[in-house]
Structure 1
Amino acid sequence: MTSKKKNENLSFEQSLQELESIVSQMEQGDLELDQALQQFERGIMLARNSQAKLSEAEQKVKILMQQQGTQQLVDFEQDNQDE
């Protein structure tokens, strides 16, 4: 439960920075199995938290754009496929 609260208090940038640190540690291969599993679990929680924050930000942008009467957002992948 403490880790969950810790995740919720981190900004997107802080979560990403910690996730990059975890990946770096795991890539080095110096962690014991238990430590690697704990870091992997922490990384999954950070990734989920980051994805939730991105989704929340996207929703806020959509709402603001609708309020302004501007065009709808288009997924980035769709833009690339047209080129």
Structure 2
Amino acid sequence: MSETDTALGYEQARDELVEVVRKLEAGGTSLEESLALWERGEELAKVCRHWLEGARARLDSALAAREAAEAADGEGRGE
């Protein structure tokens, strides 16, 4: 991913990816333009995956912390 791509938020990358797909599906572009669009789409998909994986990691961490707190609370009450 380029530095510019890493600065994109998830919604920005997703919206641009939707536009790239729309252009590719509409056709009417040269082979070179289509390849450039495809490559841009791949980069945007990586950005989206990066954001989603980060969100998944944060959720997993929060759930693990909650479970650990609940387990510690249960031990404190003699459960």
TM-score, normalised relative to structure 1: 0.75
Could you give the per-residue CA deviations for residues 18-59 of structure 1, whole angstroms, max 9, x where no partner exists? Answer: 000001111111211111101100100110111111011100
Structure 1 gaps of 5+ residues are: 71-83
Query: Cα distance, 1:5 vs. partner?
Result: 1.5
| Bigger RCO of structures 1 and 2 (CA < 8 A, at least 6 apart) | 2
- Letter in structure 1 aligned against 2:20: I
Secondary structure of the structure 1 residue equivalent to 2:28? coil
Structure 2 gaps of 5+ residues are: 69-79
Structure-2 residue corresponding to 1:13: 11
Aligned pairs (5 A) from 1:21-36: 21-36=19-34
Give the Cα–Cα distance (whole angstroms) in 1 for the partners of residues 7 and 17 of structure 2: 15
State the 4+ residue runs in structure 1 displaced beyond 3 angstroms.
Answer: none
More helix by share: 2
**Bigger Rg over Cα:** 2
Query: Cα distance, 1:4 vs. partner?
Result: 1.3
TM-score, normalised relative to structure 2: 0.79
Give the Cα–Cα distance (whole angstroms) in 1 for the partners of residues 14 and 61 of structure 2: 25
